[in-house]
Amino acid sequence: MASSEGGNFQAPDKELSLLSLEKLDRSSPDLWPEQIPGVYDFAPLSPPTPEPPKLLNLDDQDYNLLYQFRLLTALEIIEEVKKLQNVAYQLGLEEAKEMTRGKYLHILNNRKTK
């Protein structure tokens, strides 16, 4: 049909040489003799049903905070997360200082009990 510049290339003949006339019968007992043993021991036969949502014991202040967070844009939420990370970092620094102070004051000595 079409020949390339570098030689004789005929696409239909190449496609015919790659054509397979073999028929695979998937219902053959030799091919799939039985279910794989133990598969259904770990995989459920039916999809899991979702659990009903757990009721949270939230007070009015918690609901107000959730409502305020719901009104924030994505960038504002990112800023809030950054603020929380900074507060957590500062608390970690203060805790490390207090632990060091307690160590030097021998407040946290190991007491040997008999």
- Is residue 100 in some structural domain? yes
Contacts for 62 with CB less than 8 Å, ≥ 6 apart: 56
Token pair of 2 as six digits: 């079409």
- Is residue 19 in some structural domain? no
> Whose structure tokens read 């036969």?
45
- Is residue 14 in some structural domain? no
pTM of the model: 0.43
Domain of residue 106 covers 73-114
Instruction: Give the model confidence (pLDDT) of 27-50 as tens digits.
Output: 655 555 556 666 666 666 677 777
- Is residue 108 in some structural domain? yes
Q: pLDDT higher for 17 or 98?
A: 98
Q: Into how many domains does the chain fold? A: 1
Q: What percent of the chain has pLDDT over 90?
A: 35
